[in-house]
Amino acid sequence: MAKLATYRAKRDFTKTSEPKGATSRRSGSSFVVQKHDASRLHYDFRLEMDGVLKSWAVAKGPSLVPGEKRLAVEVEDHPVDYGDFEGTIPEGQYGGGTVMLWDRGTWTPEGDPHEDYATGRLSFRLDGEKLRGTWHLIRMRHPREKRSSWLLIKGDDEHARGPDDPDILEEAPLSVKTGRSLDEIAGRKAAKKRAAKKKAQAAPSKAQARAKPSPQAGPMPDKVEPCLATLVEEVPTGPGWIHEVKWDGYRLLAFVADGRVRLVTRNGKDWTKRFPGIAGALSALPVESAILDGEAVMLDENGVSSFAALQQALSSETKGVASDAVFYAFDLLYRDGDDLRPLPLGERKARLAKLLAKSRKAGPVRYSEHRTQGGSMIRTVCRKGLEGVVSKRVDLPYRGGRNEDWVKTKCTDEQEFVIAGYVPSTAYENAIGSLVLGYYDKDRLAYAGRTGTGFTRDLARDLFRRLRPLRTDRPPFSGRLGAQQRRGVVWVRPELIGQVEFRGWTADGIVRHAAFKGLREDKDAKDVTREKRHALSASESGGAKTMSANGTAIAGIALTHPDRILWEDQGLTKQELAGFYVDIAEWLLPHLVDRPLTLIRCPSGAKKSCFVQRHSWAGLSDAVHRETVRDEGGEMDVLTVGDIRGVVALVQAGVLEMHVWGATLADLDRPDRLIFDLDPGEGVPWTRVVEGARAIRERLKAAGLESFVKTTGGKGVHVVAPLTPGAPWDEALRFSRGLAQAMAADEPDRYTTTSVKRERAGRIFIDYLRNNREASAVAPYSTRARPGAPVSTPVSWEELADVAPNGFTVRNLRKRLASLKQDPWADIGRLDQVLPAGGKASKRRA
């Protein structure tokens, strides 16, 4: 009852209908957000904990934009049954005004909620009707107000939105309990007046009714020029656009008449026999005649379209027939005597959805769904490995040709190229090793470089078979080629087209790191030009710009030169590194946030000049925090990050390695982690390093300390023992030095504590000096500025012997994390253990 004493003291329950309530005895996990129109409009955010609703007043309401901080002032605990309250608090009473139940659901803490609440850093997931995904409540360190001030921040996940996406508060303003507005809950007449006004505005005048587009009666045309999308830099925003998945397949126009179907490519080829399953499903549609526009694709087990799989399905092995292909229809151009092309897209799609109502999500013919939020859609699509997004003006008729009625935004650079030659394989007979690429600039064929990856052995031989009859003596390019460009090439007539994925263009027009995806047969070679991204005007894009699909803004941080190569051996760009950290943020941030940083900056890439950075510099983003802390000389500046925006800001500054102190800002003088760095000398096998790590683990166990292990991204490992801050740094150093020196004394042929390289050959250097106040070690999940883009990665003790010391990289770590059933370091923040006093262990589990 004491928990609700403040709540009850502020209210006269003879005058207010708010629940008097009692502390709940059940263990619940509900959350609610109540929209409260009192002296000023705000949102009350409540989490059920210990039988009450912990409550915060959020003045501006929650934001779905990651990193966007919303002030949340903690208020008195409320009873759990307050979570169902919706109504009006009388004027003159505390909180007088209207209360709406704006959202409700359950919440799941990501750590110990009591400990995290006490320390002021509460991370959790919401599963509500409006708010979902990861969220953070962070108490401000030095609140001046009488009541504790916190920050409510959305985590960056699939439920997040960009800064230019619609505001959830405006998009979903009504009650989840009754569907009413604040006016309706208060019993005001304003809601009725607004509804009447809206209806009057929506009613068309006679002139408008006469001008409204309508279908045109007439016979079904034999051919239609398809509408083609223009490549743009950014997903357009605004209510005038809808957004669809950009399917990775073959564009087809489907002509249906009296049960007969004709499937036509965009260059007019009849491919009906190549897609018998699609043709059969279309013939069964309840129409006499129709024209549908869509894409034929092959789907993998995750529902992702794969152009390579489609090519394989259409290969000579299957006689060019893709029986299992799926047709995603996204437009209806004609039906039963009516030409629908003059209608706006929204009307055409509504009619298409109705036609495909029975098969829209299954079967060979499916309806291509759309969304109205392009910014969040491009992030979701790219995370799933899809090709990109096509955005369409919802109010325009269907117009053939390439225009800006439809625009496309791609997750990666990809387009068609003319195949102008090949270099024979040195590994297989009668196979190609690489292809020479080109594109047409007006009537001149321009050289675009080569691609030597993406070929299976069968595909390399199939391409050789197709290209051999096209051999010619002279290069088909209009310009003069250098000796290196001509070396070893067999030239062919420029007739075949390849789909190629690449990572940008060089200054002289050559594709970087190109990978072959398959042949295209639905386009003429003369139509292959270099696709360039166009910028939409503010009127065309719907106003403010959102995130660029090629990565110019990630997590709200603008990236300059996003295509700058940071690891040349991997072709890994700045944009890709930023995206990698965003994807693994929930694994990275617990080991990084609020710890002083030592950074390795390599602005020109891992192979170029790198340098150590410990303090702020000109142009440092505000997303990276500058803190002043005490040191032996008085004071010093340190850098920290508080969220994923800070990490991306470091990437923008060319940071390739993030090293952290063994203590947090909350208590810099007392470490919360001991680190033993095992660095093998020349000739030491990995098995010996594993044995050394296990030996340290056993010695720590004997001292009452549990430990964890991670690869460093180099040759060695780190053994980490978490501590409850208590002992000062000199005790931590004394303990770790004693343990390391004892191992070196017991087995001097295996271990050493000296850093002199000539004395380390054949032995493992145990570096205990990481356990100093201003020393640092590479953070878990940080990249390293080394070949291959390795990542320092936590592993379990059981799997340590089976991993490679630098085997986890930016390219493969996401797959590892997705496959883990449990975080190998899940307990590192839950152990309550301290350094032994007098050699005796003192340990307990929280």
Residues 368, 303: one domain?
yes
Average pLDDT over residues 276-302: 91
Average pLDDT over residues 723-727: 93
Residues 43, 119: one domain?
yes
pLDDT at 316: 64
Average pLDDT, the chain: 86
pLDDT at 360: 61
pLDDT at 543: 36
* CA proximity to 306, closest of 514, 549, 499: 499
pLDDT at 686: 93
Q: Give me the CATH number covering residue 488.
A: 2.40.50.140
Residues 243, 319: one domain?
yes
pLDDT at 23: 78
Average pLDDT over residues 40-60: 93
Residues 398, 440: one domain?
no
DSSP 809: B
pLDDT at 636: 85
pLDDT at 464: 95
Q: Is residue 425 very low, low, confident or very high in pLDDT (cuts 50, 70, 90)? A: confident
Average pLDDT over residues 245-256: 94
The answer to whether residue 352 is domain-embedded is yes
Average pLDDT over residues 562-573: 83
pLDDT at residue 541 tops 90 = no
Which of 151-160, 453-462, 586-595, 694-703 shows the lowest mean pLDDT across its residues?
453-462
Residues 285, 247: one domain?
yes
pLDDT at 79: 94
Average pLDDT over residues 240-249: 91
pLDDT at 209: 43
Backbone angles phi, psi at 459, to 5 degrees: -65, -40
82-136 per-position pLDDT tens digit:
999 999 999 889 999 999 999 999 999 988 899 999 988 899 999 998 999 999 9
Residues 260, 393: one domain?
yes
Q: Is residue 318 very low, low, confident or very high in pLDDT (cuts 50, 70, 90)? A: low
Residues 89, 232: one domain?
no
Average pLDDT over residues 625-637: 83
How far is it, in rounded angstroms, from Cα 682 to Cα 197? 81
Largest Cα separation within the chain, whole Å, is 98
Give percent above pLDDT 70 in the chain.
91
pLDDT at 450: 93
Which of helix, strand or coil describes residue 151?
strand
Q: Is residue 147 very low, low, confident or very high in pLDDT (cuts 50, 70, 90)? A: low
pLDDT at 840: 41
pLDDT at 834: 93
The answer to whether residue 201 is domain-embedded is no
* pTM, two decimal places: 0.45
How far is it, in rounded angstroms, from Cα 535 to Cα 533? 7
What residue type is assigned to position 310 of the chain?
L
pLDDT at residue 67 tops 90 = no
What residue type is assigned to position 490 of the chain?
V
770-811 per-position pLDDT tens digit:
999 989 999 999 999 999 899 999 999 999 998 888 889 998
Catalytic residues: 246
How far is it, in rounded angstroms, from Cα 585 to Cα 596? 18
Q: Is the model more confident about 165 or about 586? A: 586
Q: Is the model more confident about 578 or about 839? A: 578
DSSP characters for 324-389? T-EEEEEEEEEETTEE-TTS-HHHHHHHHHHHTTTTSSSSSEEE--EES-HHHHHHHHHHTT--EE
How far is it, in rounded angstroms, from Cα 683 to Cα 312? 47
pLDDT at 156: 81
Average pLDDT over residues 633-651: 89
DSSP 316: G
pLDDT at 194: 43
Average pLDDT over residues 247-253: 93
pLDDT at 633: 67
Q: Is the model more confident about 194 or about 533? A: 533
Structure tokens at 183: 């006016």
- Max mean pLDDT among 224-233, 395-404, 455-464, 490-499 falls in 490-499
The answer to whether residue 218 is domain-embedded is no
Q: Is the model more confident about 543 or about 438? A: 438
Q: Give me the CATH number covering residue 256.
A: 3.30.470.30
Q: Quick check: 277 and 314 in contact, CB under 8 A? A: no
The answer to whether residue 537 is domain-embedded is no
Q: Quick check: 833 and 705 in contact, CB under 8 A? A: yes
pLDDT at 667: 92
Q: Quick check: 72 and 151 in contact, CB under 8 A? A: yes
Element at 68 (helix H, strand E): none
Backbone angles phi, psi at 346, to 5 degrees: -55, -40
345-360 per-position pLDDT tens digit:
999 999 999 999 876 6
Average pLDDT over residues 157-167: 79
How far is it, in rounded angstroms, from Cα 811 to Cα 514? 16
Q: Give me the CATH number covering residue 645.
A: 3.90.920.10
Q: Is residue 845 very low, low, confident or very high in pLDDT (cuts 50, 70, 90)? A: very low
How far is it, in rounded angstroms, from Cα 428 to Cα 614? 52
Q: Specify whether the backbone of 92 is left (phi greater than 0), alpha (psi in -120 to 50) or beta.
A: left
The answer to whether residue 780 is domain-embedded is no
How far is it, in rounded angstroms, from Cα 529 to Cα 156? 37
pLDDT at residue 141 tops 80 = no
How far is it, in rounded angstroms, from Cα 416 to Cα 519? 9
Structure tokens at 110: 């990501």
Average pLDDT over residues 730-750: 95
The answer to whether residue 438 is domain-embedded is yes
Q: Could you give the dihedral angle defined by the CA atoms of residues 304, 307, 312 and 315, in that order, rounded to the nearest 10 degrees? A: 140
Residues 28, 170: one domain?
yes
Range of the domain at 597: 554-666
The answer to whether residue 781 is domain-embedded is no
pLDDT at 40: 84
Q: Is residue 546 very low, low, confident or very high in pLDDT (cuts 50, 70, 90)? A: very low
pLDDT at 240: 85
203-226 per-position pLDDT tens digit:
444 444 445 677 888 899 999 999
Average pLDDT over residues 318-326: 85
Structure tokens at 299: 């789907």
Q: Is residue 557 very low, low, confident or very high in pLDDT (cuts 50, 70, 90)? A: confident
Residues 812, 686: one domain?
yes
Residues 609, 682: one domain?
no
3-state SS of 194-217 is: HHHHHHHHHCCCHHHHHHCCCCEE
pLDDT at 361: 67
Residues 723, 740: one domain?
yes
71: exposed, middle or buried (Cβ count in 10 Å: 0-12, 13-18, 19+): middle
Q: Quick check: 94 and 11 in contact, CB under 8 A? A: yes
Average pLDDT over residues 694-711: 96
pLDDT at residue 640 tops 60 = yes
pLDDT at 212: 62
DSSP 220: P
Give percent above pLDDT 90 in the chain.
53
pLDDT at 757: 75
Contacts of 556-563 with C-beta under 8 Å, sequence gap 24+, read: 556/65, 556/66, 556/67, 556/68, 556/162, 556/163, 556/623, 556/645, 556/648, 557/621, 557/623, 557/645, 557/648, 557/649, 557/652, 558/652, 559/648, 559/651, 559/652, 560/652, 563/503, 563/504, 563/512
Cα distances from 415 to residues 26, 206, 519, 790, in angstroms, run: 59, 48, 11, 30
How far is it, in rounded angstroms, from Cα 76 to Cα 81? 15
Residues whose CB is less than 8 angstroms from the CB of residue 426 and which lie 6 or more positions away in sequence, other chains included: 433
Q: Quick check: 739 and 696 in contact, CB under 8 A? A: yes
Q: Which of 616, 641, 666 is the last residue in one of the domains?
A: 666
Q: Is residue 841 very low, low, confident or very high in pLDDT (cuts 50, 70, 90)? A: very low
pLDDT at 674: 96
Domain count, the chain: 5
Task: Count CA atoms within 13 Å of residue 707 on its CB side.
Answer: 26
pLDDT at residue 190 tops 60 = no
Task: Count other C-beta atoms under 10 Å from residue 386's C-beta.
Answer: 19
Task: Count other C-beta atoms under 10 Å from residue 786's C-beta.
Answer: 17
Q: Is the model more confident about 271 or about 165? A: 271
Provide the b/e sequence for 517-538 (b: ≥16 CB within 10 Å). bbbbbbbebeebeeeebeebee
pLDDT at residue 301 tops 70 = no
The answer to whether residue 846 is domain-embedded is no
* CA proximity to 391, closest of 378, 376, 410, 408: 408
Q: Is residue 544 very low, low, confident or very high in pLDDT (cuts 50, 70, 90)? A: very low
Q: Quick check: 80 and 51 in contact, CB under 8 A? A: yes
pLDDT at residue 552 tops 70 = no
pLDDT at residue 302 tops 90 = no
pLDDT at 375: 78
Residues 337, 394: one domain?
yes
